[in-house]
Amino acid sequence: LTGTSREQRAFQYLLAHAIPGDPHHILQTFDQWCYHCEHLSCVGPDKGRIVERVLLERAPLRVLELGTYCGYGTVLLAQGLPPGARLYTIEGDPRHAAVAEKVIRLAGFSEQTVELIVGPSEEVIPHLREKHGLMKADLVFMDHWKRCYLRDLRLLESHQLLAEGATILADNVLFPGAPHFLQYAKTCGKYHCKVHRASLEY
């Protein structure tokens, strides 16, 4: 009825209640909105802890996120990066990207730390090296359309964008599910697989 999207309403709530430049508080305020106002398919705090643990263990210098959405996962990743690291995040929907850009900057991350790229992942990935300077990713966080997981993993492989020992972290592979991606990851012989059990967000 307001003519604004759920994502825009969430951002207005952030503006009113979150502390600018405080990534942790931005995420907490997002969580409050999603628990008490309207559901958004963000990573959420439970699965967020898994992401934080992986970041702490791996300390990746080059991170690629597929599926920026509102920027929740982007802020979560960016706040856990080691000094000098850079995050590239790809969002296919320009409306979501417009909200995410504001969220990322509200959290205090500059374009030097977080680069938001708008476009379909299958079109962006082949040009990450020459257009955006991403030579190889140490960590890839997949949180976009599940049917694209396998296609985009193979694109990353074919364009040699995965660093030696890179980590692929993929959300929601069991539900709604990415069975072809899981089967490939488990049987192709290139990856050691671990499934993290978690509840759905919020």
- How far the first Cα of the chain sits from its last, in Å, is 24
Helical spans, DSSP H, in the chain: 6-17, 23-36, 44-58, 72-79, 94-106, 121-124, 128-132, 149-158, 179-187
Choosing from 65, 101, 143, 152, the catalytic residue is 143
Choosing from 7, 31, 152, 172, the catalytic residue is 172
Active site residue 46: no
Q: How far is CA 55 from CA 7, 12, 58, 165, 194, in A?
A: 26, 29, 5, 14, 16
Choosing from 52, 171, 186, 194, the catalytic residue is 171
Active site residue 172: yes
Choosing from 146, 157, 186, 190, the catalytic residue is 146
Active site residue 143: yes
Placement of tokens 């009825």 in the chain: 1
Active site residue 152: no
Active site residue 164: no
Q: How far, in Å, CA of 90 to CA of 149, rounded?
A: 13
Active site residues: 143, 146, 171-172, 201
